[in-house]
Amino acid sequence: MSAADILPVVGRSLGIEAVDMHTEALRVAEFAKFKPTYYWDETRELELAGTTWRVLASAKIEDAEDTQFLGVIDKWTLSAETIIPPVDHTQILDPSSAETQITSSIDDSRNWDCRNADEAVVEVSRVRRVLVPKRKDKDPLLTEDVVVSRLGRGVYARFIPIVASANDLPFYYPRVREYAFGFVELEDRDHAASTLVVLARELSPDSAMATKRQQVIWQDLIKRLYKWMVTDRFGYQKRVALDVMVAYDTYTAKYQELKAKYAAYWVDNWPEQTDPRKFVFEDIAIASWIICLWQQDGDSRQPSFVDLGCGNGLLVHLLIAEGYVGYGVDQCSRKVWSHYGRSVDLRAQTLEPYGYVADVDWIIGNHADELVPWIPVIAARSNAKFVVIPCCPHDFSGRKMAFPAVAGQSKYHAYSMYICDLAECCGFGVEKEYLRIPSTKNLAIVGRRRVAEVGQVDIDTMIQAGRQGFVARVPDSVKTKVRLAKVQARKQQSSYE
């Protein structure tokens, strides 16, 4: 029996995560038309109902309707956290509550002056909301009015902070009296194009409202507005569900706790050449999610673990610092390992996965490359649970896989389904969760329950089939020595000539 004989066919696993390729092609074609104009270095003003606004950005959008604009604004109003990452959730206030009677604001004209308007202003909706921050111990609540109005050929959504002064604005909020999104139809509808605009009212004539940091925010907002409107037009449905195994509030609270404990220190003291902001925050997020998963797993004792292919070892360090017992294994040590202290058990060794058994409760594989396909097998053999986050596709032999292109399915999805099928062959009931981490390879595959009887003979058969063609990866340290030796040999050869 060969490895190919025991591997399931991946192509059957399209399921609900496949895409309508015609719709996807239309969306991609529309996205390519996004050509925004930014007004950072010039002051472009717009008069609306007696109020002067500064135009920050604009973009043409074809075949769009104001209903799509209103739909996006409605979603953003009810869930500010979808576009403002530091916001945990949005609280919509009851119009009859005492909070809605607050009038203190840095904006001295919350209602447009209809008397001086060339055309009538028709208010579509008015909502008062509270933005609740993730860092509840550091950032204040922010009360904000969202007012949607029609004026002439345009629809405008105004976001008005209700604060006494600019000093009361949270760090993530732009330093403006208010800002607005607009959807303006052209008079010549045969052109089938309208304009999206981002507007703001300055705190003072010389206020810095378009700093480098804020420019990135305005760019992101108009791009999202454009894409969300296009997406709404084509009826595209989100393909993945977040927060399936771990509730959003539970994860967020743990993430904020661990970030406050560890992020600043490791970002400032990262000894590797890699970008600390990527690895530190990503590993804190993964550690937070794993801890939440373990805490709700129903085991009265804290589980033990091994992280196979642990890399820089930060995930191991975080879990041990939070009271869990475990260790990490990787082919070669990293510079940062010596900074964790003696309590963190990190082992530099080349594993032969077909002979490996772990005496732990959980086996972790976070972007563990060629070890990922073996982890469900090792878990079954070790009577353990597992969580893997696949990255680069490898098969049982340790070689990289080349998946054929299948309509409606990415190569990453195909590889993920390949790992899921392997886990099912080992008797696991597979669970999947798309993690909130800054990576496109963010699918966690979990096997914590055996739902089928798979005998040890069957597991051994899989192991023997994989063992026949397995080739261990050459450690990077060995590759470096070989490369340096070749360079030295060429230099010596040149000196003889």
Q: Which of 179, 212, 234 is at the close of a domain?
A: 234
Structural domains of the chain, count: 2
Q: What percent of the chain has pLDDT over 90?
A: 47
Same domain, yes or no: 273 and 327: yes
Same domain, yes or no: 230 and 246: no
Same domain, yes or no: 42 and 145: yes
State the chain's mean pLDDT as an integer. Answer: 84
pLDDT digits (tens, 9 = 90+) for 438-464: 787 899 999 999 988 877 667 777 777
Give the pLDDT of residue 248: 87
| DSSP letter (8 states) at residue 402 | -
Whether 497 is in a domain gets the answer no
Judging by DSSP bridges, how do beta strands 193-202 and 304-308 pair with one another?
unpaired
Whether 2 is in a domain gets the answer no
What is the distance between the alpha carbons of residues 420 and 410, in angstroms, rounded to a whole number? Answer: 15
What is the distance between the alpha carbons of residues 426 and 454, in angstroms, rounded to a whole number? Answer: 6
> Order of strands across the sheet with 304-308?
345-348, 325-330, 304-308, 362-366, 385-389, 443-450, 428-434
Give the pLDDT of residue 14: 38
Higher confidence at residue 45 or residue 397?
45
What is the distance between the alpha carbons of residues 3 and 13, in angstroms, rounded to a whole number? Answer: 19
The region of weakest confidence among 48-52, 355-359, 429-433, 468-472 is: 468-472
Same domain, yes or no: 173 and 290: no
* 161 close to 178: Cβ distance less than 8 angstroms: yes
Same domain, yes or no: 333 and 359: yes
pLDDT digits (tens, 9 = 90+) for 388-416: 999 988 888 778 887 665 666 678 888 89
* 432 close to 19: Cβ distance less than 8 angstroms: no
Whether 67 is in a domain gets the answer yes
Q: Which of 234, 261, 279 is at the close of a domain?
A: 234
Give the pLDDT of residue 4: 43
The region of weakest confidence among 78-82, 184-188, 356-360 is: 184-188
Same domain, yes or no: 370 and 415: yes
* Residue 258 pLDDT level (bands cut at 50, 70, 90): very high
Same domain, yes or no: 228 and 329: no
Whether 16 is in a domain gets the answer no
What is the distance between the alpha carbons of residues 322 and 300, in angstroms, rounded to a whole number? Answer: 16
Whether 6 is in a domain gets the answer no
Same domain, yes or no: 54 and 129: yes
Same domain, yes or no: 42 and 102: yes
Q: What angle do CA 157, 162, 164 make, to 5 degrees?
A: 145
Higher confidence at residue 193 or residue 92?
92
Give the pLDDT of residue 10: 37
Kindly report the number of other CB atoms within 10 A of residue 280's CB atom.
23
Which domain range does residue 457 map to?
241-474
Same domain, yes or no: 166 and 308: no
- Integer angstrom CA distances of residue 201 from 36, 175, 208, 488: 20, 9, 12, 65
Higher confidence at residue 103 or residue 355?
355
The region of weakest confidence among 20-34, 60-74, 100-114, 276-290 is: 100-114
pLDDT digits (tens, 9 = 90+) for 301-342: 889 999 999 999 999 999 999 999 999 999 889 999 999 999
CATH number at residue 412: 3.40.50.150
Whether 491 is in a domain gets the answer no
Give the pLDDT of residue 9: 37
Q: Is the pTM of this model over 0.85?
A: no
Top-confidence range, 11-25, 193-207, 235-249, 397-411: 193-207
